[in-house]
Amino acid sequence: MITAEQIAESLSCPIERAQKWYAVLNAAMEEFGIDTPQRIAAFIAQVGHESGRLLYVKELWGPTPSQSGYDGRSDLGNVIAGDGFKFRGRGLLQVTGRANYKRVGDALGLDLVSHPELLEQPDVAARSAGLFWKMHELNEWADRGDTAAITRRINGGINGLKERIALYELTSATLM
């Protein structure tokens, strides 16, 4: 799998931060079949970008105009006033919206609707990212080396693509 030293080097983050995450990341990768150097590099790069290099497991809240629009979004299952804030992005790949919290919680055997803060715990944050990876069949795209396709599935666009590619290249180099 991947060591704390490799994570720190790949994401240019402090070793203490990498040590906090490497065991739960390895467990999630094992659980969800992220099991080749190419897949691991793609996963770590995406998780690294989405979490600010393993610094954030909860979306920073302004609210920005985009965040203000979370309330009332039926595609996210946000049906109660305040759902946008309550079910803001959490976890290493930023689970967002009541419906997604419910889906992820059911799959992981957790009540994330009643306890959304559970997604901020390292093991749950890592497992939710692994689950997302598996549910969206991202290993296929990782095997093809298609960082843009992975980014679209995670982000809905190609925001941060340059950094994601750079993190993928750094992680690949540390794993080889």
Evaluate whether residue 73 is within a structural domain. yes
Reported confidence tier of residue 4, pLDDT bands at 50, 70, 90? very high
Whether residues 138 and 112 fall in one domain: no
Whether residues 96 and 17 fall in one domain: no
**Average pLDDT for 102-110:** 98
Question: Using one digit for the tens of pLDDT, what is the confidence trace for 7-49?
Answer: 999 999 999 999 999 999 999 999 999 999 999 999 999 999 9
Q: Identify the pLDDT of residue 158.
A: 96
**Average pLDDT for 101-125:** 98
Whether residues 114 and 161 fall in one domain: no
Give the chain as a 3 state SS string. Answer: CCCHHHHHHHHCCCHHHHHHHHHHHHHHHHHCCCCCHHHHHHHHHHHHHHCCCCCCCECCCCCCHHHHCCCCCHHHCCCCCCHHHHCCCECCCCECCHHHHHHHHHHHCCCCCCCHHHHHCHHHHHHHHHHHHHHCCHHHHHHHCCHHHHHHHHHCCCCCHHHHHHHHHHHHHHHC
Q: Which domain holds residue 112?
A: 65-120
Q: Quick check: 167 pLDDT over 90?
A: yes
CA–CA separation, 36 vs 109, rounded Å?
Answer: 27
The domain total for the chain is 2
Q: Identify the pLDDT of residue 54.
A: 98
Question: Using one digit for the tens of pLDDT, what is the confidence trace for 42-88?
Answer: 999 999 999 999 999 999 999 999 899 999 999 999 999 999 999 99
Catalytic residues: 50, 59, 100
Evaluate whether residue 60 is within a structural domain. no
Evaluate whether residue 35 is within a structural domain. yes
Q: Identify the pLDDT of residue 82.
A: 95
Domain with residue 105: its CATH number is 3.30.20.10
Question: Using one digit for the tens of pLDDT, what is the confidence trace for 137-152?
Answer: 999 999 999 999 999 9
Evaluate whether residue 161 is within a structural domain. yes
Q: Identify the pLDDT of residue 176.
A: 81
